[in-house]
Structures are given as C-alpha cells and as structure tokens.
C-alpha cells in the first residue's frame, strides 16, 4: 500500500529542483521542509536526492534519531561521511577522508584538546567554517546535495553548523535540504523557522493533501477501491499521506490510525507480537540481533515475527537494518504495551545493550539512557546522560552537553547524582558564556547539602570564570574570595592555581598590573599548575606586559603557544595566536590616512582603533564594573571569535 508515485507537491518539487540547478552554478543554499508528522517531508527529500543521484551529483544523507539526541553531530557526520564516500574512488582515500570529516565536525575533541578558555561563539564559527570548507573540497567535480532528515531530534550543535551554512553557502556548489516536524513544537523547528524569517534559508511548510490529491493517491495504491472505502479514507486521513497508506494497510479500513496498528498487531501470534513490542521499546531503529535476549524467543520466532511485521507494514528494512515504518507506527505499537510489560522489556533491553556494546560507544549511550528511563531506573538514566554530557563537553559540543546535563539533573532522584549533573552543568554553562544561567544554577547548587567542600570551591571557580567572561568583575571577585576560604579548609593545589589565574584576570581588569603579573608568575612557577591553566597564565601575563613592553608581551604569548603545542591544546594555541596577532597589529603601521594616537596607559595595553577593524574588543576594565545580569547590552567577549581573521 506504499504509494508508487509522488502526488501533488508540485510547487515544492519545482522550488527544490530550481535550488538544485542554482547549486550546480555555485549558488548554494539551505532549504527546509517543515510539516506535521507523516505529511511527506522525507518522501520529498528522498525524491530530490534520487533526482540528484540521477544527474550524477554527489549526495550525502543523515538523519537524527530520537534516542541519539544526546549524541552531538550524528546526522551531520553521517551525511558528510556518505558524501565523501560517494566521491572517493581510489583505495585508501576513504580512510583519510573519513578522518578529515571527523576533524571538521569535531575539530577539537578528537585531539583531546581542551576547550577551556575558548569562547563558545568562536568554537561554533570555527566548526561551521571547517564544515563549509570540507563541503567545498568534496563538491569540486559535481555539485553536492546534503540531506538532513528528522531534525526535530537534532542536537543543537549540528543546528549551529546548519545556521552557519545557511548564511554562507551562497558561493558554493552545495545544496543542503533539512526536514523538521512542525508539531509538536521543538527548539530545532523554531531555529529553522527563524532562518526563513531572516531569509537565510527557504522554508516550505507542507500542507495536507487536497481531497483530489488524496483520491489520486488512494487510486495509485489501490486502483480497484470501492467508493465507500474511498470515502472512509478521505474522512479519516485528513489529507495526511502517511495516514492514507496506513488506513489502506489494514483490512476493512479502520476509523483511525491507532486502530489500524492495533488490528495489524493483533494479527500476530502471541510471541511474535511480544518481539515487535520489544523492538518498539528499543527504538524506531532497533538492533534485531538483541531481540532474542530481550524476549527469550528463539531465532525462528524472531525471524517469523520480523517477516510478518514487514508484511503488515509495521516494519520495513533499509541497508540491512530493520526499523519501524514510521516513528508514529512505533509510538502506536508502544501505546498498545501495558506499562509493567514495557518496564520489564526495557530492563532486559538495557542489560542486552550493555552486554553487546561495552562502554556504550556512539549512539548506544543515548539508547541506553532512553531504555533506563522507560524501565523507571531514573538515576541510571541520569548517570548515562551525565556521561553523554561529559563526552559532548570533551568534543566541544557545548549546547548538546547542556541539554544532556539538564535532562540528567531533571531525571536524577538521588541528590548525589543530581549534584554531579549540576556540577558539570555549571562548568558547561560557564564555558558556553551563559553567565546568567550559570550563576543562577551555581547559587542553587552551592545551597545544596549534598555538595562537598572541595566540589564547592570548584563550583565557585566556574562561577568566577563565567563572571570574568561576562566582565562582571565584582561577581568574579566575590566567588574568588569564597573559593579562597573553602580552599583554606580543604586545600587542593590544582584548584588553587586555577583560582590564581582568575584572580590575575580580575587584577588586570581593575588596572592592578603589578598584582596581575605577580599572580600570573605564581601560577606559571607552581608545579601544581595544569597545562591549560599555565597557558592561560601566560596570556594574562602577556596582556599585563603589553602596556610597557611589546617584546615581553610577545614572549609571554609565545610561551603560551609553545605550552599549548606541547600539551595538545589547540584552543589555547589559537588564543595565543590571537594575542600574538594583537602585537603584530600594534607594530604594523595603521591604515592609510590614519594617525596613530599617542599611546596612553590603559589596562588593556593597546589602543582600540588598531583592533576595531579586525576584532571585537573587550570592554576596558573599570573598577566599578559590577554584574548586571540579563542586561541587554552585554559587552563583547575577549578573545574575539576565531571566525574573525587572525593576523597570525
């Protein structure tokens, strides 16, 4: 009962084909197909991708999975890997290219580098630009079409890249088509819709098919259908193509989709039905190999259950993998499972997944968290999400990490698990430059009786860092003092040096250059200083020296760069290069017609004009600066986003 032809959608298909033609001539774009579930977004996307393949264009397709929303960059990496695979012919090329994809998507995480001290905005720009360049190198001989399906479940970091592409594909031979459900509302849908509002992308909303189109579709599926049955489909399907097919799939055409699924499920023999229910618990895309462990059924029963479910249009298979024909089909099957059965199947499925995939690599952690939640093991789910958050943080996928950790903190029942989630969340928010949220959560966490004193000093230091990034110096000073008191009771040399470098930052901000130098020197000289803090201290030292000696400042920034190189800290390397760039700018003559103003003694050590045409500048320090949370006019951050040209 799958419709053999695409019915209607002429305007959308014409627009997509025009966009494809434009991309061929180097005028790439992003097109978004939005609409309620089952309205035909994926079908339309598939149609255009087939068209592109027919014209020997390069194609890469990826999709997000609900269970993998805690995994950063999954759909993007999938699509890019497919795109480079479709281009490679020479043996051995593939592996090198796959590595370049990983470097594009995870430019910092793979090398184990630290993202501490790097602005979140800079990270996003760097990643967007790297992906753009990768797409450009792939689309040399033929235009490239990238399809990203089901973005309602996408991680926010992939969306960040997509937004960058929407603003920058205009000169490329790349067409990117994204699909997203408009209902229920999701953050992803809102962000993609906003791309349309600001004309960065073309957004098409798929409307229900007209009655004449539904009739055409029904006749294409079932040419001999009687008038009464046709009327029944017209009334029940509401113009949704998915429902048209589903209603036609059940005998006697039931009144609703849920009944249609229930009828087909009831047609399966007892154990076969249990196998399909277990598959639904595992997810829309499920590993059929696990079904035997989850249900205790033998291989013959599993095989016949899968065959019957495919016959009944409950399941389908693609590329050797079984999946529910539609996300809605899986949900309708789950609705038929009694709660205690679902919890027990989820428990067994969780054990099976953990046994089959030790360490839960890739998407398996998300799958396991979903199963733990269905099994009612909320602390286990929270712990898995904390691990997922930590992994995203390591990969520099800050927004994805925030979402995983927020979910973890909501799920956690045990106060210690909740505390662990929130500690990591405070750190992630600080690194993301989300100072308001960071300080609000930090205040709540510091009041928690489950927080140990050593964790308390670490939290104060992250809050101080968030405040420093936001140039809320009074707030930063308050948290540094609090951390100092806690460290006096429960000394931790590593935290002490972190405190030292942040204190040096605040001293620099209020113009106490000697104090800033003294503190930075102390951090650099300490044997307990970890490399990223040492890099930071060299940068602060350089900024303090820049007022009086460009040579000494240059030397400090150079040492920061060497330290970053020696310890594989690419983000600190970039930051050092930016600072070295400021020295170059100061040495360089100004633009023609400019007269360099007399250098005044300022805490930031150089005059604004020399940088303003290249970088955003940090607000000059002022001793009275205090926190104004939520204030609209937030000063720009330093260092400038790395998307801005670095003179180095």
Binding site for ligand ATP (CB under 6 A): 2-3, 6-9, 35, 37-43, 150, 181, 217, 241-242, 245, 326-328
CB nearest ligand ATP: which residue? Answer: 40
Residue with smaller CB distance to ligand ATP, 15 or 56: 15
Q: Give the span between the Cα atoms of 205 and 183, in whole angstroms.
A: 11
Q: How many residues bind Mg ion (CB under 5 A)?
A: 1
Partner from ligand ATP, Mg ion, none contacting 258, C-beta within 5 to 8 A by type:
none
Contact between 186 and Mg ion by CB under 5 A: the answer reads no
Mark the segment that binds Mg ion (CB under 5 A) among 40-48, 69-77, 104-112, 251-259.
Answer: 40-48
The stretch among 41-49, 115-123, 234-242, 472-480 that binds Mg ion (CB under 5 A) is 41-49
Query: Which positions ≥6 away from 251 have C-beta within 8 Å?
Result: 263
**Shortest Å distance, C-beta 253 to Mg ion:** 24
273 binds, among ligand ATP, Mg ion, none (CB under 5 to 8 A by kind): none
Q: For 311, what's the count of Cα atoms within 13 Å in the CB-facing half-sphere?
A: 10
**How many CB atoms lie under 10 A from the CB of residue 521?**
15
Please tell me the number of Cα atoms within 13 Å of 17 on its side-chain side.
11
| CB nearer ligand ATP, residue 35 or residue 542 | 35
Is residue 614 close enough to count as binding Mg ion by CB under 5 A? no
The rounded distance, in Å, linking the Cα atoms of 106 and 572 is 16
Nearer to ligand ATP, 217 or 563 (CB): 217
Q: Are the CB atoms for 517 and 548 separated by under 8 Å? A: no
User: How far apart, in whole angstroms, are the C-alpha atoms of residue 528 and residue 545?
Assistant: 24
Cβ 189 to ligand ATP, closest distance in Å?
11
Q: Does 42 bind Mg ion (CB under 5 A)?
A: yes
Residue 9's binding partner among Mg ion, ligand ATP, none (Cβ under 5 to 8 angstroms by kind) is: ligand ATP
Distance spanning both ends of the chain, measured CA to CA:
61
Strands (E), 380-462: none
Segment near Mg ion (CB under 5 A), from 34-42, 224-232, 470-478, 543-551? 34-42
Nearer to Mg ion, 35 or 122 (CB): 35
327 makes contact, choosing from ligand ATP, Mg ion, none, with CB < 5 to 8 Å by partner type, with ligand ATP
Q: Which stretch binds Mg ion (CB under 5 A): 36-44, 63-71, 359-367, 422-430?
A: 36-44
Stretch that binds Mg ion, among 42-50, 119-127, 457-465, 601-609 (CB under 5 A): 42-50
**Residue from 602, 555, 612, 608 nearest 580 by CA:** 555
Cα separations (Å) of 93 from 102, 134, 138, 500? 15, 15, 12, 48
* Nearer of residues 63 and 264 to Mg ion, judged by Cβ: 63
Residue 66: DSSP 8-state: G
CB 543 within 8 A of CB 605: yes
DSSP 513-575: HHHHHHHHHHHHH-TT--HHHHHHHHHHHHHHHTTT-HHHHHHHHHHHHHHHHHTT-HHHHHH
Footprint of Mg ion on 440-469 (CB under 5 A): none
Please give the residue ranges that form the binding site for Mg ion (CB under 5 A): 42
């Amino acid at each position: 009962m799958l419709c053999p032809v695409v019915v209607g959608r002429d305007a959308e298909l014409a627009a997509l084909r025009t966009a494809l033609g434009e991309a061929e001539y180097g005028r790439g774009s992003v097109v978004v197909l939005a609409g309620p579930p089952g309205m035909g977004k994926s079908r339309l996307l598939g149609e255009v991708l087939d068209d592109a393949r027919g014209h020997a264009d390069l194609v890469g397709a990826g999709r997000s999975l609900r269970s993998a929303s805690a995994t950063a960059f999954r759909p993007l990496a999938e699509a890019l890997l497919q795109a480079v695979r479709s281009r490679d012919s020479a043996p051995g090329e593939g592996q090198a290219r796959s590595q370049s994809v990983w470097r594009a998507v995870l430019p910092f995480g793979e090398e184990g580098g630290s993202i501490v001290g790097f602005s979140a905005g800079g990270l996003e720009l760097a990643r967007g630009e790297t992906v753009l360049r990768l797409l450009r190198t792939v689309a040399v001989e033929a235009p490239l079409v990238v399809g990203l399906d089901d973005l309602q479940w996408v991680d926010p970091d992939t969306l960040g890249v997509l937004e960058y592409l929407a603003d920058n594909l205009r000169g490329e031979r790349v067409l990117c088509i994204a699909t997203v459900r408009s209902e229920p509302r999701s953050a992803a849908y809102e962000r993609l819709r906003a791309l349309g509002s600001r004309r960065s992308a073309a957004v098409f909303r798929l409307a229900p098919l007209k009655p004449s189109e539904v009739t055409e579709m029904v006749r294409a599926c079932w040419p001999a259908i009687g008038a009464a049955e046709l009327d029944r489909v017209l009334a029940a399907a509401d113009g949704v193509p998915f429902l048209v097919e589903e209603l036609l799939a059940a005998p006697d055409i039931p009144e609703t989709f849920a009944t249609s699924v229930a009828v087909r499920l009831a047609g399966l023999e007892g154990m076969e039905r249990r196998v399909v229910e277990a598959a639904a618990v595992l997810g829309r895309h499920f590993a059929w190999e696990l079904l035997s462990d989850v249900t205790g059924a033998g291989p013959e029963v599993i095989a016949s259950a899968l065959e019957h479910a495919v016959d009944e249009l409950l399941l389908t298979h693609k590329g050797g993998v079984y999946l529910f024909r539609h996300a809605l089909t899986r949900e309708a099957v789950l609705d038929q499972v009694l709660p205690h059965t679902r919890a027990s199947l989820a428990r067994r499925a969780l054990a099976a997944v953990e046994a089959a995939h030790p360490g839960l690599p890739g998407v398996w952690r998300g799958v396991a968290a979903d199963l733990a939640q269905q099994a009612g093991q909320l602390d286990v789910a929270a712990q898995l999400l904390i691990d997922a958050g930590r992994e995203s943080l390591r990969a520099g996928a800050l927004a994805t990490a925030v979402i995983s950790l927020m979910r973890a903190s909501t799920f956690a029942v045990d106060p210690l698990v909740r505390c662990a989630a929130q500690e990591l969340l405070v750190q992630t928010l600080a690194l993301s430059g989300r100072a308001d949220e960071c300080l609000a959560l930090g205040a709540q966490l510091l009041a928690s009786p489950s927080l140990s004193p050593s964790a308390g000093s670490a939290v104060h230091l992250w809050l101080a860092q968030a405040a420093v990034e936001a140039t809320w110096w009074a707030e930063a000073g308050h948290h540094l003092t609090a951390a100092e008191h806690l460290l006096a009771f429960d000394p931790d040399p590593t935290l002490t040096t972190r405190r030292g470098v942040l204190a040096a930052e605040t001293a620099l901000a209020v113009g106490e250059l000697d104090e800033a130098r003294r503190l930075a020197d102390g951090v650099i000289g300490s044997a307990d200083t970890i490399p990223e803090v040492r890099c930071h201290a060299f940068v602060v030292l350089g900024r303090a020296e820049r007022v009086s000696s460009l040579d000494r400042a240059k030397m400090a920034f150079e040492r920061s760069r060497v330290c970053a190189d020696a310890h594989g800290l690419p983000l600190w390397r970039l930051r050092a290069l930016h600072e070295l760039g400021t020295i170059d700018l100061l040495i360089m003559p100004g633009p023609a017609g400019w007269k360099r103003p007399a250098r005044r003694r300022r805490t930031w050590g150089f005059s604004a004009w020399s940088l303003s045409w290249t970088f955003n500048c940090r607000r000059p320090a002022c001793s009275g600066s205090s926190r104004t949370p939520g204030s609209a006019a937030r000063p720009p951050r330093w260092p400038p986003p790395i998307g801005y040209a670095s003179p180095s």
